[in-house]
Chains A and B, each alone.
Chain A
Amino acid sequence: MLAKRIIPCLDVKDGRTVKGVNFLELRDAGDPVELGAFYAQNGADELCFLDISATLEQRKTFASLVKEIAQHVNIPFTVGGGINGIEQVGVLLESGADKITVNSASVKNPQLVNDLARQFGSQCVVVAIDTKWVNNQWHVFIHGGTQPTPLLTTDWAKQVQELGAGEILLTSMNHDGTKNGFALEITRQISLSVSIPVIASGGAGTMVHFKDVFTQGMADAALAASIFHFKEIEINDLKNYLRQNKIPMR
């Protein structure tokens, strides 16, 4: 049976993980390669690395980092952050990334999703959607959730599937960082509206939240950052709990 996936997400700036990670097992928890390999050995099903570098110079570091990650990590991983062109994606995939994620650039230029899918295959194109509940509707936001768009989230999700996206990474801005649980309703709505996998992100605080997002939210995968980085939840414990609750886990 196909397992639901647990995905730790690492923010990377200038080649270093950003959030203050305190892992006693690691020599250097700021090293994305070592942290990624640690997660891979400790139950993660996939990894996500987001480049939050501000400058072009720092971005160049990222491609060589991706190569190093690919050398040391034996599970699939997605990379993203500021991706806006085919050439950039080509470099990241050739460096060994399995998938890339596009966000703001796909809203500004939807054709990019189509071009990427044609060139590299849908299986490596993850469209990240940041959504926010405003005026009684779920709207798409871009630029790290700072800029509203007229797009409704369900419409946009259907559209990116049509354009060739292979997966959707859905983050609720209302829930992100709250630790009060994932946005179950919109996750479920998107999951029912498209025929590609949906990764839920934003709001994870307890193990129950993961159970809820897989059952009520109908997510195919769940992504979280700080609760894993700060060891509030160990991935293997989480997966045991989910197994006990009849959710298929690797």
Chain B
Amino acid sequence: MKVAIVKYNAGNIQSVMFALQRLGIQPIVTNDPELLRQADKVIFPGVGEASSAMKYLKERNLHQVLVQLKQPFLGICLGMQLMCSHSEENDTECLNIFPLAVKKFPPKEKVPHTGWNTVYNLGSPILKGIKENEYLYFVHSYYAELGIETIGTTDYILPFSAALQKDNYFGVQFHPEKSGVAGAKILENFLKF
């Protein structure tokens, strides 16, 4: 199976690489549109800042490539947020795969939302075998609002989209690569989708 990780300026793809390797997959890391189109699965990770990430994608025309892919596609954390329509993080227009807004958490509790939190209302093939209220690992200061694409919800300050799906496009706010056995199961489900 050919798994491509989208190479861009949002850091720490190493953990995702290692998590895939633990599942027996040796991914390639690339920003070459042709290699991305040819891959069986595409993973779009990311820890970083929205506007500089979008700028990087646009400069290489990757923003158009990513929205036209037909194979299963998984955005993680910032990757998922960039798949939404707009982010309040430096007022950034995003890829608009999910027609949802990404907003900053109101400072009613500690921000970033850091640690293990429960995910409920699960409904997607990639969450198969994950029990309601399973704990998964989050680190983020912005959240995607709820929508019909929401396939998992988490409460922190308010309920938000922990996971999204539209057709072949998936996004998760938590870090499956850091979420122990449950996280590995989600990655495995994605690879099987």
Residues of A participating in the B interface, judged by any CB pair closer than 8 Å: 1-5, 40, 45, 67, 70-71, 74-76, 93-96, 98, 120-124, 166-167, 195-197, 220-221, 250
Contact = CB atoms under 8 A, between A and B. Distances in A.
A67 B21 CA distance: 13
A93 B117 CA distance: 24
A76 B14 CA distance: 13
Closest 9 CB pairs of A and B: A250-B135, A96-B14, A250-B116, A3-B116, A123-B139, A2-B117, A71-B18, A76-B178, A197-B114
A114 B60 CA distance: 30
Given A74-B180, A75-B137, 16 more contacts: A1-B117, A3-B135, A45-B115, A67-B14, A70-B18, A74-B19, A96-B14, A98-B12, A98-B15, A121-B49, A123-B114, A167-B114, A195-B111, A197-B110, A220-B114, A221-B115
B11 interface: yes
A124 B184 CA distance: 22
Given A74-B184, A123-B139, A93 B11 contact: yes
Contact of B112 (A4, A67, A166): A166
B91 interface: no
A45 B138 CA distance: 12
Interface residues of B, number: 36
B115 A220 contact: yes
**A67, A74, A96: residue with the most chain B Cβ atoms closer than 10 Å:** A74
Contacts, number: 87
Interface string B117-131: 110000000000000
B96 to A, nearest CB: 24
A23 to B, nearest CB: 20
Contacts of A95: 14
B1 interface: no
B116 A98 contact: no
Contact of A98 (B118, B135, B178, B181): B178
Contact of A75 (B14, B18, B178): B178
23 contacts: A1-B117, A1-B155, A2-B115, A3-B116, A3-B135, A45-B115, A67-B14, A74-B180, A93-B12, A94-B14, A95-B14, A96-B12, A96-B14, A120-B11, A122-B141, A123-B112, A123-B140, A124-B12, A124-B47, A166-B114, A220-B114, A220-B115, A250-B116
Given A121-B48, A250-B135, A195 B107 contact: yes
B113 interface: yes
B176 to A, nearest CB: 9
B137 A196 contact: no
Nearest to B22: A74
B156 interface: yes
Contacts of B110: 195-197, 220
Interface string B1-43: 0000000000110110011011000000000000000000000
